[in-house]
Amino acid sequence: MSEDEQPRPRRDVVSFVRRGSRLSRSRQDAWDRSHDRWVLDVAPGERDTLPADDARLDPVAVFGRRAPLVVEIGSGQGENIAAAAASHPERDHLAFEVYVPGIAQTLDRLERAGSPDNVRLLPLDALHSLPILMPPGAIDEVWVFFPDPWHKFKHHKRRLLSPPLLDVLASLVAPGGALRAATDWAEYAGHMRRVLDADARWATLSADGPRPAGTASDPLPEDLPVTGWAPRFDGRVLTSFERKAHDAGRLVWDLAYRRTERTDPEEH
The answer to whether 184 is a known ligand-binding residue is yes
Strand-pair partners of 142: 71, 179
The answer to whether 125 is a known ligand-binding residue is yes
Mind spelling out the 3-state secondary structure of 197-215? HCCCCEEECCCCCECCCCC
- Indicate which residue of 48, 117, 148, 197 is catalytic: 148
CB–CB of 124/50 below 8 Å? yes
CB–CB of 63/37 below 8 Å? no
Cα torsion for 31, 33, 34, 37, to the nearest 10°?
130
The answer to whether 96 is a known ligand-binding residue is no
The answer to whether 152 is a known ligand-binding residue is yes
Residue 187: C-alpha distances to residues 74, 141, 149, 181, 192 (Å): 20, 25, 9, 14, 9
The answer to whether 53 is a known ligand-binding residue is no
CB–CB of 238/262 below 8 Å? no
The answer to whether 49 is a known ligand-binding residue is no
148 classed as catalytic: yes
CA dist., res. 194 & res. 127, Å (int): 19
In sign, the C-alpha dihedral spanning 102, 104, 105, 107 is: positive
CA dist., res. 40 & res. 131, Å (int): 17
The answer to whether 242 is a known ligand-binding residue is yes
The answer to whether 72 is a known ligand-binding residue is yes
Please report, as a single letter, which amino acid is at residue 56. R
The answer to whether 97 is a known ligand-binding residue is yes
CA dist., res. 245 & res. 165, Å (int): 25
CB–CB of 82/38 below 8 Å? no
Which residues make up each annotated binding site for substrate? Answer: 152, 184, 239-242
Which residues make up each annotated binding site for S-adenosyl-L-methionine? Answer: 72, 97, 125, 148
Which residue numbers are catalytic?
Answer: 148
Which residues make up each annotated binding site? Answer: 72, 97, 125, 148, 152, 184, 239-242
